[in-house]
Amino acid sequence: MKFKDGYWRMRPGMRGAYAVAAHDVAAEAATLRVLAPTRPITHRGNTIDGPVLRVDVSSPMPDVIRVRTVHFAGSVPDSPVFAVRDDAPEVKIAVDGEAASLTSGALSVRLRRDTPWEMTFSADGRELTRSDGKSLGIVHDADGRHFMVENLHLSAGELVYGLGERFGPLVRNGQSVDIWNEDGGTNSELAYKNVPFYLTNRGYGVFVNHSGRVSFEVGSETVSRVQFSVEAHDLEYLIIHGPTPADILRRYTALTGRPALPPAWSFGLWLSTSFTTDYDEATVTSFVDGMAERDLPLSVFHFDCFWMRQYRWCDFEWDPEVFPDPEGMLRRLRERGLKVCLWINPYIGQASRLFDEGMAAGHLLRRPDGTVWQDDHWQAGRALVDFTSPAAREWYAGKLRGLLDMGVDAFKTDFGERIPTDVVYADGSDPERMHNYYSLLYNQTVHDVLAERGPAVLFARSATVGGQRLPVHWGGDCESTYEAMAESLRGGLSLGLAGFGFWSHDIGGFEGRPDPAVFKRWVAFGLLSSHSRLHGSGSYRVPWLFDEESVDVLRTFTRLKARLMPYLYGAAVEATTDGLPVMRAMHLEFPADRACDHLDAQYMLGPDLLVAPVLSTEGDVSYYVPEGVWTRLLDGETVTGPGWRSERHGFDSLPLLVRPGAVLPLGARDDRPDYDYADGVTLQVYGLADGSARTVAVPAADGGEGAVFEVSRTGDRVRARRLRGAPAHWNLLLAGVREARHPRLETTPGGVRVAAAPGTDDIEIILEGAA
C-alpha cells in the first residue's frame, strides 16, 4: 500500500508518525526493549502526548534477529499466529549512551540512541540493510484506519525475490505485492499462495510474521526501500542472515517448517478425468487401458469434482448414477497397481447432506449475527467449514477416513482462497488474519488424516507460511498456451524461493484445449518437474487425442523421469532436511553469477540438472549456461559456459544439461517411480576434476538410506567405492569417455561403463590420454 505522494509529501488523508530515536532502552533477559518516540525528546514536556512505539529486539535462533513493534498492545489479536521455532540462542547485548546492539551468530543489529532513528543490520562487518528516517512507524488514513509500517533500505544493485507464488517477473523490484490469497488464475498479480517472506542478493531474507494482509512496496513507492505494512497495531519481522540464498532458505524453513517427504509413487505420472468432462467407470477404464496398451507408465488416477453429484460439493459421496460400485472400481484400479486421488474442497453446498449436519453441530463458519455464512459462489448456498474448531476438523476428517477405507490414497485439496472476513470463528480468531491462515488449517487437517496411514501427499492449491510442510502444491488454473507455461514456471520458481520443496502444474494447461505442439512441449516440462499431472478443464488430457507423436513424447519423458528417480528422490529428501526446493531458480544455485539473477525461463532440477523448457512450436529456445563444460543428458554432447545458447529441438528433446563434476545416479527401471533405487543403479560421472570427490547417497523408496558411494578422481584414475548399503548390482559410467582401461570395461553410446561383480565394493577405471 502506498502512503506517500512522491518523496516528501504524504498522500491526501494520510498522516504518519515515525520513530525518531531509541530513547529508552532496557536489556531484559535476551531481549532489547526500546521505547521509540515519534518526535524528538529535548525535555520532559516532550514525553507528554503523541504516540510511542515499543520495539522489542530478540533472536529465535542463531543468525536470525526478530523485531517486534507494538503501538496499542490492547488491540493486538491473540490468534491466529504462525508457528515459529524459538531456540532461545545465546546472544550478546551491549548498551551505552550512543547505541544499543544485539548479536546472534554472525548477525548484529545496532540501534542509535539519539536522533535520527537508525537501526542497522550487519553481518561479518558488512551492512545488510537498515531502517532509518521515516521508516518504522504508524500511518492513519482518511477513514481512520491504523497501519504499522517499516521501510528497509535497498542497496544499489540489490535484487528482491520471493513473496510466495507470483506469476510475473521473478525479480520483485518495482512491484507492489499484497499478501492476500485469491483465486485469480495464473496470469494476474493475484496468487493462490502468498508468503510474506523475501530474500535478496545481498545475503539476507526478511520474514514478516503476520498472518493477514501484508502490503509490500518493493522499490516501488521509494525505489531504494522495501516497504511493508499491515492494518494492525503490531508488526513483527525477522532478518535472516545467509550469506547464500540456500543458507537463507535453510534458516527460514528451520523457523517455519520443512516439507514432509511425499511417497515415492507420487512422483510418477498422474492422469485426471479433467474437470467438466463426462466420465464414468467405463471412461476411466478406457483411459487406463489406453495408457497400458501404449506402454505408458501410469502411477495415479485422479477423479475431479464430478465424482460427486452436482450441487452437492462436498458431501464425499460418489454419484450413484455414474459410479454405482465405487468400492469395486477402486479395487480394480488398485489391482492394476494404481493409486487413486479424489478432488475435495472445504466448502459445503446447501444441497449436500452435510450442510444440515454441519449447521446443527456448529461446524460451519458463522456471521456476527450467529447465522451461517453463505453465498452462491461455486456451489449454491455455499458454506465453509470452520477449521478453528477441533470438533469441526474431526468431523471433516471423519468423512475423509471413510473414503480412505474404500481405497482412496490421496486428496486434491482445491480452493481455500476466497475466505470471507465478515465472520466469527469458533476460537475467536481475527477474521482478517484468518483469511490466508485458513488454507493452512484446511490442508493440515487433510494431510493429518492421510498421514495416519503412512506417507501422505496432497495436491493443494492454496497456501501460506507453514504450508510448505504439507506437499504437494500445484500452480492453479492456467491457460493452454506457451505464455501460460512460462507464467506457471515463474510461479513455481518463486514459490520455491519461499520454502516450498515440491510443485506441479497442469500439463497442457487447464483452460481450453491445447494445440498438440503446446501439449508436447508441456509434457517435457511437466515430467521434469517434481510432480507430474495431466489435467484440464473441458477436455481430456490422454495423449492419443492430440496425435500419435504425443504418445511417443509422453512415453519418452515418463520413462526418463522413472530412471532419474534415484537422483530426484535424493533431491526430495534434501528438501525435507534442508528446505531447498527440488526445482530451483538459477540464482539459488549460482548466486555469484550475475547473469543468473533474472533468469526465470529455466531452472535447476535438483543441484545438478539444468532444464530449459521449450516455449515455441518450432522448437527454438535460448538459455544461459553457467561456467564449465556441461553435458546434454539426452545425447551426450557437451556445452561450454558461461554464455547463452540458441538451439532448435524436436518434441522429444529440450535443453537438459548435467552440471560439470556431477555424479548422477540413474535407476535400473523406467516403468514406475517406486522401486529399489540402489539395485542396479548406475553412477554416471560427468567431468570430475582431478583431486575432487563426490559422495552420492542413493535413497531407499521410503526416503531412508539405500546405498552411499564415494566417487573420486586422482590423476588418470576414477574410483567409486561403496561406503554403505548392499545393492546386488551397481555400475560406474564415465560420461563422454571413449578410451579407458578396466578388465570388465564396456563401451556404450554414453561413455565407458563397468558393472560391479557381485559383492564388489570398489571400481577403479584408468583413463587413457588424460591430461
Q: What is the mean pLDDT of residues 47-72?
A: 96
Contacts of 508 (CB under 8 A, 6+ apart): 480, 514, 518, 519, 522, 523, 534, 535, 536, 541
**376-423: pLDDT as tens digits:** 999 999 999 999 999 999 999 999 999 999 999 999 999 999 999 999
Condensed to tens digits (0 to 9), the pLDDT of residues 671-683 reads 999 999 999 999 9
pLDDT of 696 reads 98
- For 190-242, what is each residue's pLDDT tens digit? 999 999 999 999 999 999 999 999 999 999 999 999 999 999 999 999 999 99
> Given a cut of 90, is residue 34 above it in pLDDT?
yes
- Give this prediction's pTM: 0.97
Residue 112: what pLDDT? 95
User: DSSP for 337-353?
Assistant: T-EEEEEE-SEE-TTSH
Residue 771: predicted pLDDT: 54
Q: In what order do the strands lie in the sheet with 194-200?
A: 24-28, 31-37, 52-61, 64-70, 234-241, 204-208, 194-200, 160-164
* φ and ψ at residue 465, rounded to 5 degrees: -55, 135
Strands 204-208 and 24-28: unpaired
CA–CA separation, 188 and 266 (whole Å): 29
Catalytic residue among 158, 234, 317, 477: 477
Q: What letter does residue 558 receive in the DSSP assignment? A: H
Rounded mean pLDDT of 180-189? 96
Burial class of residue 698, CB neighbours in 10 A (0-12, 13-18, 19+):
buried
The angle at the Cα of 129, spanning 128 to 132, to the nearest 5 degrees, equals 150
589 assigned to active site = no
CA distance 588 to 594: 11
- Confidence check: pLDDT of 37 > 70: yes
Region 267-282: mean pLDDT is 97
Strand 64-70 with 234-241, pairing: antiparallel
With contact defined as beta carbons under 8 Å apart, do 481 and 489 qualify?
no
Mean pLDDT to the nearest integer, 538-567: 98
Q: What cell numbers appear for 330 in the block?
A: 477402486
Strands 160-164 and 583-584: unpaired
C-alpha cell at 276: 467438466
DSSP label of 424: B
464: three-class secondary structure by DSSP: coil
What pLDDT is recorded for position 137?
98
Question: pLDDT band for position 727 (50/70/90)?
Answer: confident
Q: Count H helices and E strands in the chain, helices first.
A: 11, 47
The values of phi and psi at residue 204, to 5°, are: -150, 160
Tell me the torsion sign for CA atoms 154, 207, 495, 697: positive
Torsion sign across C-alpha atoms 498, 502, 508, 513:
negative
> What is the DSSP-derived secondary structure letter of residue 583?
E
Q: Which member of 150, 236, 417, 589 is catalytic?
A: 417
Tell me, yes or no, if 635 is annotated catalytic: no
Determine contact, residues 246/263, Cβ cutoff 8 Å: no
Of 681, 680, 641, the C-alpha closest to 658 is 641
DSSP 8-state secondary structure symbol assigned to residue 75: G
| Residue 769 clears pLDDT 90, i.e. is over it | no
- Three-point CA angle 665, 472, 557, nearest 5°: 45
pLDDT tens figures, 84-140? 999 999 999 999 999 999 999 999 999 999 999 999 999 999 999 999 999 999 999
Catalytic residue, chosen from 63, 165, 234, 414, is 414
467 near 258, Cβ under 8 Å? no
Q: Dig out the grid coordinates for 653 from the structure.
A: 528433446
In the chain, the amino acid numbered 723 is L
Quote the pLDDT of residue 484. 98
- Whether 304 sits among the annotated catalytic residues: the reply is no
Q: Return the pLDDT at 770.
A: 66
- Section 617-628 average pLDDT: 98
How many other C-beta atoms can be found within 10 angstroms of the C-beta atom of residue 222? 18
Residue type, 182: E
Find where cell 490414497 sits.
409
Q: Letter for the amino acid at 331?
A: R
Where residue 47 falls among pLDDT bands split at 50, 70, 90?
A: confident
Mean pLDDT (the chain) is 97
pLDDT classification of 50: cutoffs 50, 70, 90: confident
Which stretches of 715-761 are assigned E, i.e. beta strand? Answer: 717-724, 730-735, 740-741, 746-748, 751-755
For residues 21 and 115, is the Cβ–Cβ distance under 8 A?
Answer: yes
